[in-house]
Amino acid sequence: MSGRTYQQEMAANGFAVIENVFTDKEIDILIGIIERADSSNETFRKTKDLFAIRQFLKEVPDAAHAIFTPGLNAVVKELFGTGYQVVKSIYFDKPGDSNWFVSYHQDLTISVKEKADLPGFGPWTVKQQQYAVQPPLTILESNFTIRIHLDDTDEQNGALRVVPGSHNKGIYRPETIDWDKETEVSCKVRKGGMMIMRPLLLHASSRTTNSNKRRVIHIEFSNQELPAPLQWSELMQ
């Protein structure tokens, strides 16, 4: 599909799946970089159901050159133009025997360096010394996320389930979903492909049932400047 078609999908549905953004060799290089990373830092979360690295591009800086290939940069520029910067990054490794799942939700918070009481920003949370806050809706509506898949992902190993068009409905509480009116789509992505989504898109992930791993690099972009003294915690130029 053309960039124009993906733009139309994003506008109407809040997400798009783009295959073959990375070659198998490029993905294997990325996996090697991650496996060599020092996992002793507190931003690394390790349980039997999930291995995650918060502030991924800070903790594994060598991954940046392997992620931001000419191919990826071209896709982002074609779909969103210039002016967007990376503001958050997480690596998820969901093992093949994982029971970890995530119920329907929107990504309503952004990560910032320090807490500051400003109109329109709140409530606040802090996790692993990382401040998160719900910003004004205009910021969330302009942001987008890419999810780079290091493994084939389908319904059996935790592919995202989404409600198309829910990103256009503001704050949408999961308990109010009317399934007589809404539909659910499973977003299958092959190794080397990626899913692009708006943070306000309602999404969920099921338990793994086929014993296959699901490794994903999650990167959030914004073209918004935060009001002082707030600063993005992971701003990459």
Domain ranges of the chain: 3-222
Residues in Cβ contact with 42 at an 8 Å cutoff, skipping those fewer than 6 apart: 128, 129
Amino acid at 193: G
- Token pair 């294997």: residue: 28
Cβ-based neighbour number of residue 44 at 10 Å: 19
Whether the model pTM is above 0.85: yes
pLDDT 10s digits, 201-214: 999 998 887 878 88
Q: Among 116, 121, 118, which Cα is nearest to 137's?
A: 121
pLDDT 10s digits, 1-45: 666 799 999 999 999 999 999 999 999 999 999 988 877 666 666
User: Phi and psi for 79 in degrees, rounded to 5?
Assistant: -85, -35
DSSP 201: S
Cβ-based neighbour number of residue 161 at 10 Å: 17
Q: Among 55, 53, 18, which Cα is nearest to 39's?
A: 53
**How many angstroms separate the CA atoms of 171 and 137, rounded?**
8
Structure tokens at 8: 């139309």
Share of the chain above pLDDT 70, in %: 92
Identify the CATH assignment for 3-222 out of 3.40.50.720, 3.40.50.11750, 1.20.120.160, 2.60.120.620: 2.60.120.620
